[in-house]
A and B are shown apart, each in its own frame.
Chain A
């Protein structure tokens, strides 16, 4: 196992040429990928980073249709990857893109298996507008397992405010309009995210249960993009306006 961890660290943090984990380890499953990633996270934490929460990738109808994702992936949100809203983000990859999402702050632990949407409703402290910034390395398309392993040690997250209570707010009907440099670029409601963004919570808790992890009080959850991801370029100012959750902005340099 430790050889594999070393190899994976070299792949993800050491700039080693890409090799798909499924070609290195025969019959490497999704659960194997989640377990190996949890080990990578523990190593990051031992060097001072913090596991701030989790995210779901591939949760929106638009993205599933566009990227042919085999199913949602649960990714990590590391503290070092949460960036302030006020500072410009440098474009430092061949392709970068942005996704507007609804973020959740956990009030209580949520441990699978068998977590339901009702369990999730009682475990939410508040919700807020958020961005995920995607950074694409280019190269061949990785396997599902390789995507799990790398999710999410690239790119970053911006969390907006003010936090809103989840009670009386039907997130399925929460609208969001995305604009770049003032130009409307698309709109949708929360229904695009697994039918209800809060469905991300049982999905994450139940997926993590397979590798002995859980959602903890105080963690944040990025529930997934409402729209297909939107490419960004230096100089772009991106703004997402929500019906009731307020707005969030990001600048790129």
Chain B
């Protein structure tokens, strides 16, 4: 893959020039080609010193898929540079629309190589689960960007915060695990794991199966963000986001 496309993506993420969608930059680019660009871009960043710590999925709820005309989730790479500590204050970029989503993060104990994996295959590969918040920004192209662009830059913008403690899955049905998200102490939404493709473990299987199309796999030690349990909430400087789960503990993100 040419480094020109990566330079173009870096420029788009940095917002230094006008917005150019990848469907205009590379006419006729398909969804699968966009995934190859995304995976190549991750390797490009690794070569420059970053690290691939896992994957995430978006459009995992029926409502989100319907609203956006999607029939499968979009997956993205999680880079070390996008991992925030709970104790840090996250500095929002001025003029950028940033949203947060409460999610269940899955830490893997074994590799998972698709295609053809089911939630049962995933069950045996889970080290534990953790409460997490995804921070996404719409800096690149905003809501008008193409699906291909969304995939190509996924998840090169924004980041994640993972709380604790790590919980064993024993006895916990993630489909009914609930989460409450509070903005500055005020409840702003609640939901359960069923919102993530019916079961957060099904999201892990879907990611592994999709990666199988590109000779990539989930690896032991990776963290998987399984998709939002409630509608995304916009955040502004000074906001305090706190998410509490039924049994998985809590996680906090503070913004400045």
Binding site for B on A (CB under 8 A): 61, 170, 172-177, 179, 184, 187-192, 195, 226, 241-244
Cα-based distance from A141 to B244 in the complex (angstroms) = 38
Contacts known (A175-B179, A177-B175); A244 close to B246, Cβ less than 8 A: yes
Which chain B residues in 176-190 approach chain A with CB under 8 Å? Answer: 176-180, 187, 190
Interface size band for B: 20 to 34
Given A187-B229, A191-B187, are A173 and B192 also a contact pair (CB < 8 Å)? Answer: no
- Supposing A184-B62, A241-B175, A241-B176 touch, asked if A173 and B194 sit within 8 A by C-beta, the answer is no
CB distance from A185 to the nearest CB of B (A): 9
Contact assessment for B176 and A173 in the assembled complex, using a CB-CB cutoff below 8 Å: no
Which positions 149-196 of chain B face chain A at CB distance < 8 Å?
A: 173, 175-180, 187, 190-195
What are 20 A-B pairs at a CB distance below 8 A?
A: A173-B178, A173-B180, A173-B246, A174-B246, A175-B176, A175-B190, A176-B176, A179-B194, A184-B194, A184-B195, A187-B192, A187-B195, A188-B191, A189-B178, A189-B190, A191-B180, A192-B190, A226-B190, A241-B194, A243-B192
Q: Is B245 an interface residue (CB 8 A)?
A: yes
Q: Does B93 contact A (CB under 8 A)?
A: no
Contact B246 A187 (CB under 8 A): no
Q: B172 CB to closest chain A CB, in angstroms? A: 9
Is B198 at the interface (CB under 8 A from chain A)? yes
Chain A residues with CB below 8 A from B244, complex form: 172-173
Instruction: Give the most central of A61, A173, A226, A241: most B CB within 10 Å.
Output: A173
Shortest beta-carbon contacts, A-B, top 8: A175-B178, A189-B178, A175-B192, A187-B192, A177-B194, A189-B190, A243-B246, A187-B191
Per the bound structure, the CA–CA distance linking A241 and B245 in Å amounts to 16
Tell me the bound Cα distance from A236 to B122 in angstroms.
32
Known pairs A184-B62, A243-B246, A243-B247; A189 contacts B180 (CB<8 A): yes
Expressed in whole angstroms, the minimum distance between the Cβ of B211 and any Cβ of chain A is 25
Question: Using Cβ atoms and an 8 Å threshold, which residues of chain B touch A189?
Answer: 178-180, 190-192, 246
- Which residues on B sit within 8 Å (CB–CB) of A172? 180, 244
Binding site for A on B (CB under 8 A): 62, 173, 175-180, 187, 190-195, 198, 229, 244-247
| A172-B180, A243-B176 known; A177+B192 contact, CB < 8 A | yes
Residue of chain A at shortest CB distance from B248:
A173
Contact partners of A188 in chain B: CB under 8 A = 178, 190-192
Distance in angstroms between the alpha carbons of A189 and B246 in the assembled complex: 9
In angstroms, Cα B192 to Cα A179, docked, is 12
Question: What 5 new A-B contacts, CB under 8 Å, besides A177-B192, A243-B192, A243-B247?
Answer: A173-B246, A175-B190, A175-B191, A187-B178, A191-B190
Query: Complex Cα distance A184/B197, Å?
Result: 10
Q: Which residue of A lies closest to B189 (CB)?
A: A188
Which B residues are in CB contact (< 8 Å) with A179? 194
CB distance from A183 to the nearest CB of B (A): 9
